[in-house]
Amino acid sequence: MSGYERGGSTLAAPILVEGPAGPWLRVRESVAFFGHAVVYADWNRWLPAVAAGPELRRLLGHRDWERFNALAKPEVRHRFAVSRLLVRHAASAALEVVPDTLEVAYKPGGRPYLRGCDQLDVSLSHTLDLVVVGLNRRGRIGVDTELAGRRLRYSEVHRQMCTVAERAMLAGLPVPEQEAELLRLWTLKEAYTKALGQGMRMGFTQFGFDADGRGPLTPDGRPASYGEWAFGTYGLELGDSYLMSVACHDAGLGGEEDTAVATMLDEGFFGQVVDLLDRRGRGR
């Protein structure tokens, strides 16, 4: 991670994961202490795991294995596989299970989730070599990435992506600063709408952010939340320079201190299941 960071005072620092070996304890500790974790990787470093044959098929699961084989370009196939492996490995660290016991499923808009593990929200983003996964046990999470050098021209996009208050903030800036701010706002808005499950269906002029990354704000610049959301923007270096934004929600319900699957089941319910299985076994 580079020295660039804005907002995110209540967010855990992103964790670089070089490969399947981790550091998964740091991910587990981040979820336990902060309630969330954001991990990122260069998918090229994970290529040995993608070449694992039968093991890769087991880790991806039936649906993602079919999607993997349907992709024609090797680079696209490998990046797809690594992104799903990163989701499974990161979630398995938080839930204290082995990765191939988790099933990644998808909501109608394409947002991934862990089937049967609704105590952990998941978000995924990738750009070129960078893959980012966000996990949150206290509410929703969204992550978005872009190349730091991507240029967004104010004259071309401000009517489609900026509120009145944001236009006032941006209009007087020199062009390089203006483009950098536009890119930061773009990734923040993408991360926020991903967390809400809306994606591009939610108009970017309906909410905004200030120069410090706090928000969301109403179109005229007034606060639109009461501290239940935390936002951060980070500069990441993986050969190329990237910008990554995080939108992290705290539902205010306290969450579970322990997300391990083995300790998330209600004891009474678990006992009833065991008794039922035992009775069925004796009846055979």
pLDDT reading at 269 higher than 60: no
CA angle 259, 260, 263 (to 5 degrees): 100
pLDDT per position as a tens digit, 33-52? 999 999 999 999 998 888 86
pLDDT per position as a tens digit, 152-199? 888 888 888 888 888 888 888 898 888 999 999 999 999 999 998 876
- What pLDDT does 263 receive? 45
pLDDT reading at 264 higher than 50: no
- What pLDDT does 253 receive? 67
Q: Which tops the pLDDT comparison, 224 or 255?
A: 224
- What pLDDT does 213 receive? 73
Per-chain mean pLDDT for the chain: 83
pLDDT per position as a tens digit, 25-36? 999 999 999 999
- What pLDDT does 155 receive? 82
Burial class for 142, CB neighbours closer than 10 Å (0-12, 13-18, 19+)? buried
φ, ψ dihedrals at 263, nearest 5°: -115, 10
User: How far apart are alpha carbons 118 and 271 in whole angstroms?
Assistant: 21
pLDDT per position as a tens digit, 87-99? 999 999 999 998 8
pLDDT per position as a tens digit, 67-89? 999 999 999 999 999 999 999 99
Report pTM. Answer: 0.83
* pLDDT over 70 percentage in the chain: 84
pLDDT reading at 124 higher than 90: yes
Q: How far is CA 133 from CA 32, 91, 123, 278, in A?
A: 17, 9, 6, 40
Instruction: Name residue, tokens 């260069």.
Output: 42
Homologous superfamily (CATH) of 5-283 is 4'-phosphopantetheinyl transferase domain (3.90.470.20)
Mean pLDDT lowest for which of 49-58, 101-110, 152-161, 268-277?
Answer: 268-277
Q: What residue segments make up the domains of the chain, in order of their start?
A: 5-283
Q: How many CB atoms lie within 10 A of CB 131?
A: 26
Mean pLDDT lowest for which of 153-157, 257-261, 277-281?
Answer: 277-281
